[in-house]
Amino acid sequence: MRSSLPQGIRARGQKFFVDVTIAGQRRTATCPTIADAITRQAELRTALLSGAPRLNASNSASSLQANTWTLKDAVDHTRTNAWTDRRSGQKLTRNAEWAVEFFGPTTPLTSITTEKIDHYVSHLVTTGNSNATINRKLAALSKVLSVAVQRGKLVARPHMDRKRESRGRVRFLTESEERAILAVLHQWGKRDHADAVVALVDTGLRPSELWRLEARDCDFISGLINVWQTKTDKPRSVPMTKRVKAILVRRGERSAVGPLFPFDNFWMGHTWDRMKVHLGYQDDAQFIPYALRHTCASRLVQRGVSLLVVKEWLGHTNVTTTQRYAHLCPTNLLNAVSVLNETDRAERYF
């Protein structure tokens, strides 16, 4: 592998040395892995091309300190320039602010080392954060530090190890569970909630996508729902089932302008939690409204729809996300076992 390293990267003992020179300006870095080295090389090139002031080992401590940001400066700058126009911007900012609370707002970026980040991770672990949550907070901090490097306020982004994440169990509803949920909601007179459950199960929309859905987004001739605002910023179209079409037509007649489901997650969650206790699922932590989206995906896969089609249906950016449902369709495995069940081999054994 070391014999085929990208240009500008070479092995140095157990680490990798990065050397970037553009227009007579040179920057270097040492990274623990080849992946880190490639990322760092791209960052150094971006910094040089953007005309950021050069910082290297010859800089005095005082000049480096004067040129850097505090952690709060970096978070504020990242929020304004990288996250403001993203729907997840508020969540990303909050994840970064956890680091501000731990390190302190006036902490210079130059003092945040890999060792101190390890202490930060230990703090997150001891305060009950899951590995997935820790990784989201580290990703936000990493982005903040990368922005600082690009702006010439930091020489290099310190290395930070990500935690291993478990995919966990995919919770989806059985048909009997769905019937029980709808029966309770209708019994309580919660028709809007029942409509939302059916729509989420049959379309696989994210709840936030359903709350934004309007009649003008529904093409009843082609039978497609056009989802314009998505988590990945990529519009997609989702087919309507017969019962979803009936619900959307009825709700459209009642409210031709504006959202067909003018609600939010709190509205859904309040009644869902009450229903959850009523049905005896209070100890099932994964019995949540998002399980309705998992239900749609699971049913598609279980009924023979390919993972690539499911990926497009759900609006996943990468098929890796869709593969969490792959085990629900063991058809290939069942076909493969026939190779081991050859009649003549069985007869020879007995």
Domains of the chain listed by start with CATH number: 1-54 (3.30.160), 66-165 (1.10.150.130), 175-332 (1.10.443.10)
Report helix, strand or coil for 89.
Answer: helix
CA 163 to chain centre: 15
At 64 the pLDDT is 41
Inter-residue contact 182 to 198 (CB < 8 Å): yes
In the predicted structure, residue 172 carries a pLDDT above the cut 90: no
Query: Can you tell me the distance from the alpha carbon of 96 to that of 140, in angstroms, rounded to the nearest whole number?
Result: 5
At 51 the pLDDT is 58
Report if pTM > 0.85.
no
Query: Can you tell me the distance from the alpha carbon of 135 to that of 156, in angstroms, rounded to the nearest whole number?
Result: 20
Query: Can you tell me the distance from the alpha carbon of 67 to that of 47, in angstroms, rounded to the nearest whole number?
Result: 15
* Span 59-71, pLDDT tens digits: 434 444 446 789 9
- Residue labelled with tokens 């002031």: 53
In the predicted structure, residue 56 carries a pLDDT above the cut 80: no
> How much is the average pLDDT of 26-30?
81
At 337 the pLDDT is 63
Q: Give the least confident one: 1-15, 110-124, 298-312, 327-341.
A: 327-341
* Span 79-102, pLDDT tens digits: 998 888 777 788 889 999 999 999
| Token pair belonging to 259 | 């959202």
Q: pLDDT category, 317, cuts 50, 70, 90?
A: confident
The helix-helix angle for 114-126 and 89-103 (nearest 10°) equals: 100
At 230 the pLDDT is 74
In the predicted structure, residue 327 carries a pLDDT above the cut 90: no
Which residue would you say has higher pLDDT here, 30 or 239?
Answer: 239
Inter-residue contact 225 to 238 (CB < 8 Å): yes
The helix-helix angle for 191-203 and 242-254 (nearest 10°) equals: 140
At 61 the pLDDT is 40
